[in-house]
Amino acid sequence: MLPSLLSTFADLILFMGLSWAIWRALGRSVPIAVLPIIIGLLLAATGVLPKAAGIPSAGGDFIGWIGVLLLAFTAGLETRQTVHLPGATDLPPARPGETLRFVASAVMALLLPFAVGTLAAKLWFNHLPGWSAPHGGQWWGALAIGLCLAVSALPVLIGIVRELGPLHRPLTRIALRIAVLDDAVLWIGLALLLLAAEGQALLAGSWVKPAVAIALAATLAGIAAAARRTTREPPAWAIWLAMPLFLAAGAWSSSQLGLHELLGAYFAGAIVPAAWSRRLPVERLGQFALIGLAPVFFGHSGLKIDGSVLGWASLQASVTLLVLAVAAKLVAVLACSPAQWLSRREALAVGTLLQCKGLMEIVAATILRDKGLLSEHAFAALVTLAVLSTLLTGPAFRWIVRRVVPMENANGRSASH
């Protein structure tokens, strides 16, 4: 028992304590969320961590898993309840034409990187040694890579926007609005991809647990729908009690359907009634999951990568994927700007925020790797891509807008000087 406790404690010190210390030493200039991944990648590449240390530990795995489940759950809450987004409370009402333009831009910002990533994977990456997906064939592996390139990381992007402050709020809140839609489509796309790839395996298994899972998910949806129709709100203690039940039921149901627990956790958060989530400290719960628990999961994600696949070839692949992902996002917002009043430079700034992959890409890649739709080589490259993309976001946004001074008026518009 004692060695296990010591290993867990060392695990927490390494991926939480050390990350926090580095973050403070760097003057908070680097998103703290990516530091555990960097530490894990460096340890995997160098192999300096002795096996006797017992890291990754079973206790650390459990803490990290609880953290990432809570992170997915709060991502579902934040996606549906935009009141939690910075500056969302003062957004002006959109006109029908503006709404159509905005939705078209959000769809373009998702579909173009997805198409570019899928074709690049099918025509080139999947032919590299070790890149072919273990299950499902080349097309499923290509679709998995394309989906990861299309990600916009909502939870980390919220943190970056808060660090940028109110000066560029007209631009940052547009990016957040698009990220809300893209994040929802990401999880739906993950679910559909897994269902399509594993459809035969699901049909071949027992129908009892899937039937119970569907019934449980339908019950959750029915409770949420009934709560939205009633004008009587439950007491706060009842809402707090319902949240872990929603989370556990959603995660279990999705796992029994052959999907992944994180998908169920996200959708469970997404169906929570707005009246309930408004009475919860969603932002603080998300920050607690992101900084207080999930760092161990992301540190282990980097640490569990086979060190032999990390090298110059992997870095080249990651940089190539980064160029494709960033270029596709920027071209998408330039081709279909989310707002008519945006200048080209401002549209590029919005695209720079949207290219942030953050932790959501790592979560998506982990799900796809666990299901055999990504190889270890592809997973390592995508994890590195997520780190590079997140580190790039803040500095690139500041560089693009250094000559842009947004000025809000009553219509929420901005002018460039």
Q: What is the pLDDT of residue 206?
A: 62
- Which CATH architecture describes the domain 2-403? Up-down Bundle (1.20)
Q: Is the peptide bond before 56 cis (omega within 30 degrees of 0)?
A: yes
The whole-number pLDDT of residue 3 equals 65
- pLDDT for the residue numbered 408: 41
Structure tokens at 381: 């490259």
Question: 364 near 190, Cβ under 8 Å?
Answer: yes
Q: What are the boundaries of each domain within the chain?
A: 2-403
Q: What pLDDT was estimated at residue 416?
A: 38
Look at residues 186, 215, 197, 217 and name the one whose alpha carbon lies nearest to residue 258.
Answer: 197
Average pLDDT, 10 consecutive residues per value, the chain (417 residues) = 75 88 83 84 82 80 88 77 46 59 85 92 85 80 88 72 67 80 79 74 62 85 83 84 90 80 84 83 83 85 78 84 91 86 85 83 84 86 88 84 51 40
Whole-model pTM over 0.75:
yes
Alpha helices (H) along 198-260? 199-204, 208-229, 236-256
Q: Tokens at residue 47, please?
A: 């192999």
What is d(CA 3, CA 128) in angstroms, rounded to the nearest whole number?
Answer: 42
DSSP state of 200: H
| Cα–Cα distance measured from residue 92 to residue 89, given in angstroms and rounded to the nearest whole number | 9
Q: Which residues contact 320 (CB under 8 A, 6 or more apart)?
A: 120
pLDDT for the residue 116: 93
Name 198's Cβ contacts closer than 8 Å, sequence gap at least 6. Answer: 258, 371
3-state secondary structure 21-64: HHHHHCCCCCCHHHHHHHHHHHHHHHCCCCHHHCCCCHHHHHHH
pLDDT score, position 331: 92
- Count CB atoms within 10 A of the CB of residue 209: 15
Give the count of beta carbons closer than 10 Å to the beta carbon of residue 30.
17
Between CA 23 and CA 156, with CA 363 as vertex, the angle to 5 degrees is 40
